[in-house]
Amino acid sequence: MARRESPEVNAGSMADIAFLLLIFFLVTTTIDVDKGITVKLPPWSDEPPPEMKLNERNVYSVLVNANDELLVRGQLMPPRDLRENTKKFIANPMGAANMAESPKKAIISLKNDRGTSYEAYIQVYNELKAAYRELWDDEADKRFGKVYNDLHIDQKRELRADIPLVISEAEPTSFGEER
């Protein structure tokens, strides 16, 4: 049985088809990846929160006002110093009397006005989170000789139990003009 050679398919238009597909994907997709600061909000309750007796030395009050100025414990602070100062407050390596008794007891209290710009708020929130991340990194290095992100989930949990991230956000005051 003499089999006939099947005729070759012309692949010349293949490039055009692929081009069309390529252009379709270029148009319908975006290149930006979803990245951001992940936050867990506290659950809502209609009752006012119970009055808590907090030792004042354990509370680090951070206020971003409507002029995007940063007030930490009532004093102006440039945003670039916030990270270092927060770390110092939480870890309190010198055992200062006006800083946290222990990292477990430290509470960061963040407050903003309605007129605060989102950019300033994110900047401050980012610095607070970065302070915790750096503390975790230091501690992870001390205990396990690794970066925090490379730790096993149990090790992470253990670390976070010792240095818990507590950023409490108060209801914003309605100062400042809204656009």
Partner 1 sequence: MAKINRGKGRGTPKISTASLPDIIFILLFFFMVVTVMKDSELKVQVNYPYATELQKLEKKSLVSYIYMGVPAKRFQRKYGSAPRMQLNDSFAEIKDLKLFIEQERAKLREAERARMTASIRADKDVTMGIVTDVKIELRKINQLKVNYSSKPRTDDL
Residues in contact with partner 1 by the rule CB under 8 A: 11-12, 14-15, 17-19, 21-22, 25-26, 28-44, 78-80, 112-119, 121-123, 125-127, 129-130, 133, 171-172, 174, 176-179
Collapse the DSSP code of 26 into the 3-class scheme (helix H, G, I; strand E, B; otherwise coil) and give the result.
helix
Q: In angstroms, give the least distance from the CB of 65 to partner 1.
A: 11
Q: In angstroms, give the least distance from the CB of 72 to partner 1.
A: 15
**CB closer to partner 1 out of 12 and 95:** 12
Q: 89 - beta bridge partners?
A: none
Alpha carbon distances (Å) from 61 to 49, 91, 104, 159, 170 = 18, 16, 16, 24, 10
**CB closer to partner 1 out of 58 and 60:** 60
Identify whether the C-beta of residue 164 lies closer than 8 Å to the C-beta of residue 108: no
Tell me the CA end-to-end span of the chain in Å, nearest whole number: 85
What's the DSSP call for residue 120? H
Q: 112 - beta bridge partners?
A: 64
**CB closer to partner 1 out of 49 and 95:** 49
Joined together, the tokens standing for residue 12 give 């010349």
Q: In angstroms, give the least distance from the CB of 111 to partner 1.
A: 10
What's the DSSP call for residue 10? P
Indicate if the alpha-carbon torsion angle 81, 87, 93, 99 is positive or negative: positive
**CB closer to partner 1 out of 17 and 147:** 17
Q: In angstroms, give the least distance from the CB of 147 to partner 1.
A: 14
Q: In angstroms, give the least distance from the CB of 101 to partner 1.
A: 26
**CB closer to partner 1 out of 17 and 54:** 17
